Structure 1
Amino acid sequence: MKSPQKERVRTPERLMEEIRGTLPPFGCAAVWFFGQESVAVKGSETVIHVDPFYSDYLEERGVKRAYPALLKPEHITIADLCLITHEHEDHLDPWTLKVIAEQCPETRFMAPLSCRAKLESTCGIMPERIIDALTGEWMDLKGRGGERIRIKPVPAAHEEVETTGSDRAHRYVGYLLDVNGVKVYHAGDTVVYPGLPELLAEEAIDLGMLPINGRDYFRTSRGIVGNMNVREAAELAKITHMDTVIPLHYDLFTGNSEKPGNFVQELYERYPEQKCHVMARSERFIYCSPRSFLT
Structure 2
Amino acid sequence: MTINSDWGKWWAREEFNGPSVDGVSLWFLGVTGWAIRTPETTVFIDPYFSTERDREYIARMPPVPMEPQWADSCDAVFCTHDHRDHFWPPSFGPLLDHGGSVHAPAECYENHDVSEIPPDQQEAVEPGDTYEVGDLTIHVRGGRDPDADGSVTYVLEHEEGTIFHGGDNRPCEAFHDVGEEFDIDMGMLSYGTSGRIVMDGDVKRRKLYNDAQDVIEAANALGIDRLVPTHWRRWRSIQADPGALSAAATTFEYPASSRRSRSATASDSVNPGSSRRLTSATSERPSAPVRAVPRDGRLESVNDRFRPVAIANSGPGVD
Identity among equivalent positions (%) equals: 19
Q: In structure 2, what is the equivalent of residue 112 of structure 1? A: 105
Number of residue equivalences: 267
Distance 1:77 1:58 in 2: 28
Report SS of the residue matched to 2:208: coil
CA displacement, residues 105-135 of structure 1 (integer Å, 9 cap, x when unaligned): 312211112223466x436111111222121
**Shift of the alpha carbon at 1:49?**
0.9
CA displacement, residues 71-108 of structure 1 (integer Å, 9 cap, x when unaligned): 2344334322111111111111232123333xx33122
Distance 2:181 2:72 in 1: 36
**Shift of the alpha carbon at 1:150?**
1.1
Q: In structure 2, what is the equivalent of residue 165 of structure 1? A: none
What one-letter code is carried by the residue in structure 2 that aligns with 1:112?
A: P
Which sits farther off after the overlay, 228-237 or 83-92? 228-237
Gaps of 5+ in 1: 1-9, 163-170
Gaps of 5+ in 2: 1-6, 261-265, 286-319
Distance 2:161 2:268 in 1: 16
Map 1:198-217 to 2 at 5 A.
198-215=177-194
Q: In structure 2, what is the equivalent of residue 153 of structure 1? A: 140
Q: In structure 1, what is the equivalent of residue 224 of structure 2? A: 242
Report SS of the residue matched to 2:98: coil
What one-letter code is carried by the residue in structure 1 that aligns with 2:215?
A: A
Q: In structure 1, what is the equivalent of residue 83 of structure 2? A: 88
Q: In structure 1, what is the equivalent of residue 240 of structure 2? A: 258
Q: In structure 1, what is the equivalent of residue 165 of structure 2? A: 186
Normalised by the length of structure 2, the TM-score is 0.72
Report SS of the residue matched to 1:277: coil
| Equivalent in 8, 11, 16 of residue 19 of structure 1 | 16
**Shift of the alpha carbon at 1:62?**
7.2
Q: Which has the higher contact order (CA 8 A, sep 6+)?
A: 1
Q: Give yes or no for contact 2:31–2:230 (8 Å, CA) kept in 1.
A: yes
| Equivalent in 130, 152, 163 of residue 122 of structure 2 | 130
Aligned-CA RMSD value: 3.1
Given the superposition, is the C-alpha separation of residues 51 and 186 from structure 1 closer, same or farther in structure 2, using an over 3 Å criterion?
same
What one-letter code is carried by the residue in structure 1 that aligns with 2:116?
A: G
Which sits farther off after the overlay, 61-70 or 187-196? 61-70
Q: Give yes or no for contact 2:168–2:209 (8 Å, CA) kept in 1.
A: yes
Distance 1:245 1:273 in 2: 13
Report SS of the residue matched to 2:237: helix
What one-letter code is carried by the residue in structure 2 that aligns with 1:204?
A: D
Distance 1:281 1:229 in 2: 21
Distance 1:243 1:16 in 2: 32
CA displacement, residues 131-176 of structure 1 (integer Å, 9 cap, x when unaligned): 22121232323x2xxxx321111112112797xxxxxxxx101111
- Structure having the higher helix fraction is 1
**Shift of the alpha carbon at 1:216?**
6.8
What one-letter code is carried by the residue in structure 1 that aligns with 2:48?
A: F
Distance 1:180 1:24 in 2: 14
Which sits farther off after the overlay, 128-137 or 66-75? 66-75
Report SS of the residue matched to 2:249: helix
Q: Give yes or no for contact 1:95–1:123 (8 Å, CA) kept in 2.
A: no
Q: Is 1:232 aligned to residue 214 of structure 2?
A: yes
CA displacement, residues 166-188 of structure 1 (integer Å, 9 cap, x when unaligned): xxxxx101111113432111001
| Equivalent in 252, 259, 269 of residue 278 of structure 1 | 269
**Shift of the alpha carbon at 1:59?**
6.0
